[in-house]
Structure 1
């Protein structure tokens, strides 16, 4: 199992074989995840002594997170799965951070200084201006596993059941607006 996530300013990846972590890395990367991801994954596979042909499945982080990062992970996972003829299994970041942790709400940063809070694995996340006093995530209890390791473990648990293709987990409706200025006139 090769799992990865680019839902924030990072590359996160892990190789899991027989339930054991064979390779794992986290690399801060505010920009350029799309260009760097495949090389990063190839380095992880090499560190584990494996190649693309050795994989049985992929685990892909589906967010929430930044729009472009989530799209990079899900599209890369879907393309690799198609090319390799293996399943790609999406895992949301709330579930990954909660894996094997204490029974606390999971908190993720949201735009404009707010946070997303998910109280239980099945609850719908809500946006708030402040996190609860005790939580898993930024400023709280650290998760039990690095992000990609948790994604790999959850994806491995789901491998034997049919899974939809990884799709972005967006929590907020788009708020982009078309430009208010008129475009320049085209010359003939």
Structure 2
């Protein structure tokens, strides 16, 4: 009998480090640390602490799940870079999960998801009753398209499952789909002014 996969999942697309460890359907450990900067220094430390809390050694991890955005550009690159590096070192798949998929996890279609994009804008995506999703796009918060069902996220209902936990469960389900290496999902181009602290390079 094959044991349930152990998934280490994390997300730094918003102003926090969110990490979760699951085995099969069981949540072993999770943490969310609010922070506006410093994710690059804290992310792997939190991962190590949660694995220890769960009684899991790093080589026992079967899948890496990572939030790919949309959200903070530097934060997304930090997570994606870390996921690629860990997956390469462990020889396991890294599965990228968008913030829309994480928000929609556990929801019954139809519904729509909105993510704060600042400057009175949101990233928006709607999902029809048949489960098909429209292309995600950036809208002024007052100009979002009409949609069926509840709005999840910015200006709406809370997600059914915390972000990192949702990413972990989705990654577990998609681990055998031979996913491409996770890549940032930005929707809009980065601001013209570069960040003072350059994010780590993404492995190619």
Structure 2 portions without partners, runs of 5+: 1-6, 195-204
Matched, 1:136 2:152: yes
> TM-score of the superposition, structure 1-length normalised?
0.89
Which of residues 2, 10, 19 is equivalent to 1:4?
10
Equivalents in 2 of 1:124, 1:145: separation in Å? 23
Offset, 1:170 = 1.0
Pair member with larger Rg: 1
Offset, 1:175 = 4.1
Offset, 1:127 = 2.1
> TM-score of the superposition, structure 2-length normalised?
0.83
Matched, 1:71 2:80: no
Offset, 1:86 = 1.0
SS at match of 1:106: strand
Residue pairs, 1:1-188, within 5 angstroms = 1-103=7-109, 104-120=111-127, 122-130=133-141, 134-176=150-192
SS at match of 1:86: coil
Aligned residue pair count: 178
Q: Over the residues paired in the alignment, what is the CA RMSD in angstroms?
A: 1.7
Offset, 1:122 = 2.6
Equivalents in 1 of 2:162, 2:190: separation in Å? 29
Structure 1 portions without partners, runs of 5+: 179-188
Offset, 1:174 = 3.3
Equivalents in 2 of 1:155, 1:79: separation in Å? 17
